[in-house]
Homo-oligomer: A and B are copies of this chain.
Amino acid sequence: MNFGFLIFPGLEELDLVGPWEMISFWSKHAAGPENCLMVAQSLAAVVCDKGMAINPHVAFSNCPPLDFLLVPGGQGTRREVDNPALVKFVADQAKHCRAVLSVCTGTFILHRAGLLTNRKATTHWASLERLRELGDVVVVEDRVVRDGRVWTSAGVSAGIDLALAFIEHMAGEKTAGRIQLGVEYYPSGRSYGMMHELAQAPVYVKSWGMREKSRRE
């Protein structure tokens, strides 16, 4: 099994590395996909939005057929939706993928590759309106959204929860639990400055806040 992670200039670092950690941990310690590969248009180093520079493992031209493909988001997606080579790569690979996943604004790349027509999907909270304006996506304000073999998630850190939900789906809850324990993903759940009460916060964040509030009382 080959799990590909699409990389491109201006991707948001944690969008990529949250799921990369979970999936590659699954691969190494719990019989997940044999090969986890970062794939880019060429083999040149990819500079992410905040300046981390990654060397791809493979280029589009020598990428093996992927069983799974994950697309991160970030400011770079605004340019890459208009990159025909990248959009074609996603569309072509998706034909034989068992699942295609995106984090944050990676959703807009899946859309451009024709994978979201009349499907449920989500994105970073600040881009939900932009996703609705596309007109053919059923926008769901949840942290992780699955519609058949297409999985999307909310912004940046949500890719970690996306990956755990995906691992549970593929390999069962116990395996997902082993990964969660391995990476010690028992987050504090604190809301700094109660910023989750922002009017534009998605539905799931508002209910997350109410849950945390009741916990503190």
Interface residues of A (CB under 8 A from B): 12-14, 17-18, 20-21, 24-25, 27-28, 36, 38, 45, 50-55, 57, 104, 124-125, 143-144, 154-158, 160-161, 164, 168, 173-174, 176-196, 198, 201, 204-205, 208-209, 211, 214-215
Highest count of chain B CB atoms <10 Å: which of A12, A45, A53, A125: A53
Interface of chain A, helix or strand or loop or mixed? helix
Could you tell me if A156 and B183 are in contact, using CB atoms closer than 8 angstroms? yes
8 of the cross-chain contacts (CB-CB < 8 Å) are A38-B52, A125-B184, A155-B183, A156-B182, A156-B185, A157-B184, A157-B187, A173-B192
Could you tell me if B50 and A53 are in contact, using CB atoms closer than 8 angstroms? no
Residues of B within 8 A of A36 (CB): 50-51
Could you tell me if B157 and A183 are in contact, using CB atoms closer than 8 angstroms? yes
Closest to A172 in B: B193
Could you tell me if B160 and A157 are in contact, using CB atoms closer than 8 angstroms? yes
Q: Of B21, B191, B214, which is within 8 A of A50 by CB?
A: B21
Nearest Cβ in chain B — how far from A122, in angstroms?
10
Residues of B within 8 A of A57 (CB): 51, 53
Could you tell me if B193 and A173 are in contact, using CB atoms closer than 8 angstroms? yes
Could you tell me if B187 and A205 are in contact, using CB atoms closer than 8 angstroms? no
Copies in the complex: 2
A190 to B211, CA, bound (A): 13
Q: Of B14, B55, B181, B215, which is within 8 A of A53 by CB?
A: B55
Could you tell me if A193 and B174 are in contact, using CB atoms closer than 8 angstroms? yes
Residues of B within 8 A of A178 (CB): 193, 195
10 nearest A-B residue pairs (beta carbon): A177-B193, A155-B184, A24-B50, A177-B195, A14-B21, A17-B17, A177-B192, A156-B183, A176-B192, A53-B55
Nearest Cβ in chain B — how far from A151, in angstroms?
14
Residues of B within 8 A of A50 (CB): 20-21, 24-25, 27-28, 36
Closest to A143 in B: B188
Q: Of B21, B27, B196, which is within 8 A of A181 by CB?
A: B196
Residues of B within 8 A of A54 (CB): 52-55
